[in-house]
Homo-oligomer: A and B are copies of this chain.
Amino acid sequence: METSRSSRAPRKPRAHNTPPTGPGMYAGRTGTSSADVILRGLRARIISTELVPGIPISEHDLAQAYGVSRTPVREAILRLSDERLVEVAPKSGTFVGRIPLSALPEALVVRQALEETTVRAAVRFAQEDDFVKLENLIETQQQAVGNADRQALHDADDAFHEQIAQAGGYPGIWELITQVKVHIDRYRRLAQLDMDRLGTVIEEHRLLLRHMRARDAEGAVQAMAIHLHKLRKDMSHLKSIKPEYFIHDADLAVEFTKAQSAVKSELLADDPT
């Protein structure tokens, strides 16, 4: 009589042809690995400008800080470099990504094009509860201004635009917009706009919501255009905070000037002020 172990017949190697996940279930990033946690943490610290553009960061130090090895830290950093939130100099060092100046005008144009789309859809499909949520967000913004709480205002502003995309049935478009506007947000934070300027966005939101409620697509689109145009003006008249925070990649220089003029003529044209 042999042991159960030795009596076992030799096993065929397993195939693992299994489909990735069960039906209807999304497989992507589960978000529980060290690398994912570090990725989110670093991204947040960079976007909030707690980590200022251009400062060196080292995989080793981060690993020690997070209490892990270099491997997951490195994985997070590589993924951040795809978003241009960090710059990796091959055998030299890694740095918090500088703001790519040439990408800013295009980001604004993209945002405007996409938000025009979401607003138009929202005018068609928004339900009463969508309007209520938007009203509540405006209320939240009002309080944030009262408390001079920049962070809260910024968050509520984002939530307002996101809710419009949701109401229109295009939540994925908002995701894309957040991706595109990352560097714009960093710029604005560094610029530290004064509070009462920031407060005026609330009136713009109110106007926008009024048009949406009235199912006035063109009016809503124009209100959105004005709203985003102000953002543009903020950015243009706030010159050079610190030059070392920015990078001006050469191959996009042509685009920069062309887009700049495009922006100018296009938006000053329908500027109602």
A172: contacting residue among B33, B106, B168, B244, CB under 8 A: B106
Residues of B within 8 A of A56 (CB): 16-18
Judge whether A20 and B250 touch: CB under 8 Å.
Answer: no
Alpha-carbon distance A35/B77, docked complex (angstroms): 13
In the complex, chain A residues 84-105 whose Cβ is within 8 Å of any chain B Cβ = 84, 87-90, 92-93, 95, 98, 103
Judge whether B28 and A81 touch: CB under 8 Å.
Answer: yes
* A207 at interface by CB-CB < 8 Å: no
Q: Which of A110-118, A137-145, A149-157 contacts B (4 or more CB under 8 A)?
A: A110-118
Judge whether A168 and B262 touch: CB under 8 Å.
Answer: yes
* A159 at interface by CB-CB < 8 Å: no
Alpha-carbon distance A223/B49, docked complex (angstroms): 43
* A131 at interface by CB-CB < 8 Å: no
Judge whether A88 and B16 touch: CB under 8 Å.
Answer: no
Residues of B within 8 A of A261 (CB): 125, 169
Residues of B within 8 A of A54 (CB): 19-20
Residues of B within 8 A of A7 (CB): none
Q: Which of A190-198, A208-216, A232-240, A252-260 contacts B (4 or more CB under 8 A)?
A: A252-260
A78: contacting residue among B75, B84, B170, CB under 8 A: B75
Residues of B within 8 A of A124 (CB): 262, 265
A122-140 near B? 1/0 per residue, CB < 8 Å: 0011000000000000000
Residues of B within 8 A of A249 (CB): 24-26
Judge whether B125 and A258 touch: CB under 8 Å.
Answer: yes
Residues of B within 8 A of A78 (CB): 35, 75, 78-79
Q: With A56-B16, A78-B35, A244-B19 known to touch, is A255 a contact of B27 (CB < 8 Å)?
A: no
* A44 at interface by CB-CB < 8 Å: no
Residues of B within 8 A of A26 (CB): 247, 249-251
Identical copies in the complex: 2
A82: contacting residue among B79, B87, B254, CB under 8 A: B79
Q: With A87-B21, A95-B20, A171-B255 known to touch, is A121 a contact of B262 (CB < 8 Å)?
A: yes
Q: With A35-B78, A250-B25 known to touch, is A18 a contact of B173 (CB < 8 Å)?
A: no
* A40 at interface by CB-CB < 8 Å: no
A161-176 near B? 1/0 per residue, CB < 8 Å: 0000000111111001
Judge whether B250 and A24 touch: CB under 8 Å.
Answer: yes
Alpha-carbon distance A71/B173, docked complex (angstroms): 34
Judge whether A117 and B121 touch: CB under 8 Å.
Answer: no
* A109 at interface by CB-CB < 8 Å: yes
Judge whether A173 and B109 touch: CB under 8 Å.
Answer: yes
Residues of B within 8 A of A3 (CB): none
